[in-house]
Structures are given as structure tokens and as C-alpha cells.
């Protein structure tokens, strides 16, 4: 059944209750043969509506199915340590449950500030503190008798610091404890905008959520476009779904690009009815071009070594090994392709280039020293421009991001 605008919920949002209910059911009712009690990882490119869906559709659907939802956005404050953000969210939930607090205060004989009439300081909860995350979550589970679903938005950010990684391990222990028969269950749902990065949280055995399913999160589609056209009825002539849908797909399924194009028309007070379709198409194309041009300007401002490192990383995807001799050869090919043959590519130059690319927010580094392209749509743009040819080490550029092929690169 197609999703539709819910009669409840936020008016300026297109809701997807059917999809939310399906995902919620899958998250809560784990089959004995599934690995998803490890958690579920949902990934989709930047600005395609992940956060909106998690907050406005999935969280309410999970709550309606009897779960207790704790939502954490690791991008809310990019400067904060991800472990602090996760711990604060759990503490805030705990503070809502007086019985859980009393239970903890009693079992640990703790004193401190009064919260909800209970003598207990929340500062005593955390990594390496008297009360662990496992104990805090168990207390919430036992008091509420509900499955707890922890939604971690932009979860890949957790592994950029070692305490963030520790927090993920602590959540894994909590999951194992709460999924035992004494408690009521813990599910972890992680989202992220970069498949390579998110995959690092569950690909290797030394990661907390090894083996958890990594699922492409469905983008907004025709139903959203129909909702958008219906709600753009303040334009002199209605927009047609047949015209807008291909434009939306070309824009990488980003609602903001359609919204900005419609606004351009809204503020053109000389616009006549018969011009609407043509002007709207033009405005969307302009938005797409502007975002791509902007990204290409940044690429062109790189030094030859930075550009070579960026392109080889983009072409290699998850296979990227920055200092292997085969990779060093590929940097040299990239430099030659750019007709910068006189430039020397050595290990220290590559190290410096990786640092500079991180500072420019083009490259992302996990705390274990594994690298990924910050925004996977940049890889697609580089590929379209022919800048990845012959650099992947296996013929064509890596097709790692093939599932998500938006045609713009928003920065
Ligand atoms: N279902 C929707 N209905 C209407 N507008 C939407 C919907 N989903 C997303 N948008 C709009 O698209 C923009 C991006 O949405 P959102 O922040 O949820 O995306 P995101 O994928 O989480 O982005 P980021 O990669 O930056 O975290 C916002 O302006 C939001 O209002
Ligand atoms: Mg988001």
C-alpha cells in the first residue's frame, strides 16, 4: 500500500506511516534466525529526509507498537563528544522515570542532587562511572517493562572518537543484557548518510555491531512529489507530477531543491500561469547546477596531491588503503592525469593531504585511522566528471555507492 499524508502529525511534512510501521515491526519482532537483534543500520544520502522520517514517522510508529524510544542525533552538536551525547540522552530518559531512579539509588546506595524527589545524581552514570549504561538502561527496562529502541542518527560519528567507540561497545553489552529473558529488550537503530562510513560500525569483528543488517533507506518518491504538487497550489498554475518527478529524481530526491525552486517562482511577481512549468524546470536545473558547480570549485582549489588523494579514495571506496604501494602508484597516475607530472607523491605528502582534506570536510576519518569520502554524492559527481577513471585498481571506479546515485552534490 502506498504511503500517504497522515491526518495527524506535522502539516508541512509528507508522512510515510506504512513504511514506518513496517520498519517498526521488523525492528521490534526479531526472528530467531535474524542477526538484527544486533541493531539495524539504515543509510541514505545527505538531505533526503532521514532525520525527518526517524523523528516524525518511525519514532511515533515504534511508540504506537509499545516501545520506548530514545532518539539521539550525533550531529546536533558536532563539537560534542558522541559518547556524551548518547549518555545525556539516556540520562534524560532515566530522569523521566522516578521508579527507575529510586531502584538505582537504592541498589547503589547513592546520594546526590534530588531528581523527581529522589536522592540521586545523574553524574554518577556513564562510561567508567559507578552506574554503567547497561545498569541505567536495565533500570528503565525493568520499570517500564517496554522494549527500548535507541535511534542513533548519524551513528558513524560515534567512531570518530575513542570514547564514542566505547559508548557503542557499552550499548552492545546493554543490548545483550536487556535482550536476555530477565529484561524487556533493547534494539539499536542507526542511520547515516554514508554507506562506507556506516558500514565500518558493523563490518569488522572488533566493531560493536558486527553483522547487523545495513539497509538502504527508501528515498521519497512519487507519493511525495504528488503531495508537493498538491501543496504548491499557491502558484499561478498547478505543477504536474509527470513534470516534477523526473526533476526530483535528477535532484537526488532532495526536497529542499524542489522547495527552493518553488520559492523562486513564488517571489517572481511577474510570473504568468502558462510560464509555471517551464520556469519550475529551469529553476530546479539551476539549483542542481549551482550545487555541482559549488562542489567542483572546491575540488579545483585543491593542490595536485590533495586532488589525487581525494580521487583515489573516491575510486577505491571501502578498499582504500592510504599507504599501500599499489595506492601510492594510483596517486601518481592521478597526478599524471591532471598533467601535474612534476609533483612528488610521498607518504608524508599523502598524510598532509589527508589532514587538509579532513579540514575541508571532504574526507572523514574514523578513530581507527580508516578513511572515507565525507559525502558519498561527491564520489558520484567526480565519476560523472570522468575524474575517477583508471584509479580504482580494478578497471572502472568502485561501484560501492551504486545504490545511491543522486545527480547533485549538495555541500
Ligand atoms: N517527508 C518530508 N516531507 C517534507 N519535507 C521533507 C520530508 N523529509 C525531508 N524533508 C525536508 O528535506 C530537508 C532534509 O531533511 P532531513 O534533515 O530530514 O534530511 P537528512 O537526510 O536527515 O539530512 P542530513 O543528511 O543533513 O542529516 C529538510 O528541509 C526537510 O524539511
Ligand atoms: Mg539528518
User: What's the rounded Cα separation, in Å, for the pair 6 and 236?
Assistant: 27
Phi and psi at residue 43, in whole multiples of 5°? -130, 140
Query: Looking at residue 1, what DSSP letter applies?
Result: -
Kindly report the pTM of this predicted structure: 0.83
Instruction: Measure 50 CA to ligand 1 centroid, in angstroms.
Output: 6
pLDDT at residue 105, as a whole number: 75
Ligand 1 atom nearest residue 191's Cα: 22
> Which ligand has an atom closest to residue 225 CA?
1
pLDDT at residue 287, as a whole number: 92
pLDDT at residue 394, as a whole number: 58
User: What's the rounded Cα separation, in Å, for the pair 232 and 243?
Assistant: 14
User: What's the rounded Cα separation, in Å, for the pair 6 and 189?
Assistant: 23
Helix, strand, coil distribution of the chain in percent, nearest 5: 50, 10, 40
Residue pair 85/74 in contact (Cβ under 8 Å)? The answer is yes
Ligand 1 atom nearest residue 75's Cα: 27
pLDDT at residue 400, as a whole number: 35
Phi and psi at residue 224, in whole multiples of 5°? -65, -45
> Which ligand has an atom closest to residue 52 CA?
1
pLDDT at residue 406, as a whole number: 36
pLDDT at residue 119, as a whole number: 52
Ligand 1 site, residue 255, Cβ cutoff 6 A: yes
Ligand 1 site, residue 131, Cβ cutoff 6 A: no
pLDDT at residue 183, as a whole number: 87
Residue pair 357/309 in contact (Cβ under 8 Å)? The answer is yes
Ligand 1 atom nearest residue 56's Cα: 1
Q: Which residues contact 264 (CB under 8 A, 6 or more apart)?
A: 279, 283
User: What's the rounded Cα separation, in Å, for the pair 411 and 377?
Assistant: 9
Cell of 211: 553483522
Residue of 4, 12, 47 best suited for mutating to test ligand 1, as the one with most atoms within 8 Å of CB: 47
Instruction: Measure 48 CA to ligand 1 centroid, in angstroms.
Output: 5
Ligand 1 site, residue 193, Cβ cutoff 6 A: yes
Ligand 1 atom nearest residue 52's Cα: 18
Residue of 52, 54, 71, 193 best suited for mutating to test ligand 1, as the one with most atoms within 8 Å of CB: 52
Q: What is the mean pLDDT of each run of 10 residues along the chain (411 residues)?
A: 48 92 90 70 92 96 97 91 93 87 72 54 74 89 93 91 90 89 90 84 78 88 97 93 96 94 93 93 94 92 95 93 95 87 87 95 86 88 92 53 36 33
User: Exposed/middle/buried for 152, CB within 10 Å: 0-12, 13-18, 19+?
Assistant: buried
User: What's the rounded Cα separation, in Å, for the pair 124 and 223?
Assistant: 48
Q: Which secondary structure element, helix H or strand E, spans residue 72, and what is its range?
A: strand 68-73
Query: Looking at residue 114, what DSSP letter applies?
Result: E
Could you list which residues have their CB under 5 Å from ion ligand 2? 50-51
pLDDT at residue 116, as a whole number: 54
Neighbouring CB atoms inside 10 A of 120's CB total 23
Ligand 1 site, residue 51, Cβ cutoff 6 A: yes
pLDDT at residue 13, as a whole number: 95
Amino acid at each position: 500500500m502506498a504511503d500517504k499524508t497522515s491526518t495527524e502529525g506535522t502539516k508541512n511534512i509528507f508522512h510515510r506511516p506504512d513504511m514506518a510501521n513496517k520498519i517498526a515491526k521488523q525492528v521490534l519482532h526479531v526472528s530467531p534466525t535474524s542477526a538484527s537483534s544486533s541493531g539495524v543500520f539504515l543509510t541514505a544520502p545527505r538531505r533526503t529526509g532521514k532525520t525527518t522520517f526517524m523523528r516524525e514517522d518511525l519514532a511515533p510508529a515504534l511508540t504506537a507498537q509499545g516501545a520506548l524510544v530514545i532518539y539521539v542525533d550525533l550531529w546536533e552538536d558536532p563539537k560534542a563528544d558522541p559518547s556524551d551525547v548518547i549518555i545525556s540522552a539516556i540520562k534524560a530518559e532515566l530522569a523521566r522515570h522516578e521508579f527507575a531512579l529510586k531502584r538505582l539509588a537504592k541498589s547503589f546506595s547513592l546520594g546526590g542532587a534530588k531528581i523527581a524527589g529522589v536522592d540521586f545524581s545523574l553524574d554518577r552514570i556513564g562510561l567508567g562511572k559507578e552506574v554503567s549504561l547497561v545498569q541505567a538502561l536495565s533500570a528503565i527496562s525493568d520499570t517500564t517493562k517496554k522494549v527500548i529502541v535507541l535511534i542513533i542518527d548519524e551513528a558513524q560519528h560515534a567512531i570518530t572518537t575513542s570514547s564514542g567507540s566505547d559508548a557503542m561497545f557499552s550499548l552492545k553489552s546493554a543490548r545483550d543484557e536487556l535482550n536476555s529473558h530477565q529484561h524487556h529488550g533493547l534494539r539499536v537503530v542507526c542511520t547515516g548518510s554514508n554507506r562506507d562510513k556506516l558500514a565500518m560500525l558493523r563490518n569488522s569483528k572488533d566493531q560493536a555491531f558486527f553483522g547487523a543488517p545495513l539497509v538502504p533507506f527508501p528515498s521519497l518518491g512519487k507519493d511525495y512529489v504528488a503531495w508537493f504538487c498538491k501543496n504548491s497550489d499557491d502558484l499561478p498554475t498547478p505543477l504536474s507530477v509527470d513534470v516534477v518527478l523526473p526533476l526530483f529524481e535528477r535532484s537526488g530526491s532532495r526536497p529542499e531543491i524542489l522547495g527552493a525552486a518553488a520559492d523562486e517562482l513564488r517571489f517572481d511577481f511577474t510570473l504568468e500561469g502558462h510560464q509555471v512549468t517551464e520556469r519550475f524546470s529551469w529553476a530546479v536545473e539551476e539549483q542542481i547546477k549551482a550545487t555541482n558547480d559549488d562542489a567542483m570549485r572546491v575540488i579545483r582549489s585543491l593542490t595536485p596531491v590533495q586532488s589525487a588523494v581525494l580521487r583515489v579514495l573516491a575510486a577505491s571506496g571501502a578498499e582504500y588503503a592510504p599507504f599501500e604501494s599499489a595506492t601510492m602508484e594510483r596517486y601518481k597516475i592521478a597526478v599524471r592525469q591532471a598533467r601535474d607530472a612534476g609533483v612528488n607523491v610521498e607518504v608524508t605528502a599523502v598524510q598532509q593531504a589527508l589532514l587538509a582534506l579532513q579540514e575541508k570536510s571532504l574526507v572523514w576519518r574514523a578513530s581507527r585511522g580508516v578513511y572515507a569520502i565525507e559525502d558519498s554524492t561527491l564520489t558520484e559527481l567526480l565519476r560523472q566528471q570522468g575524474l575517477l577513471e583508471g584509479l580504482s585498481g580494478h578497471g572502472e571506479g568502485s561501484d560501492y555507492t551504486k545504490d545511491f546515485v543522486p545527480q547533485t552534490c549538495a555541500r
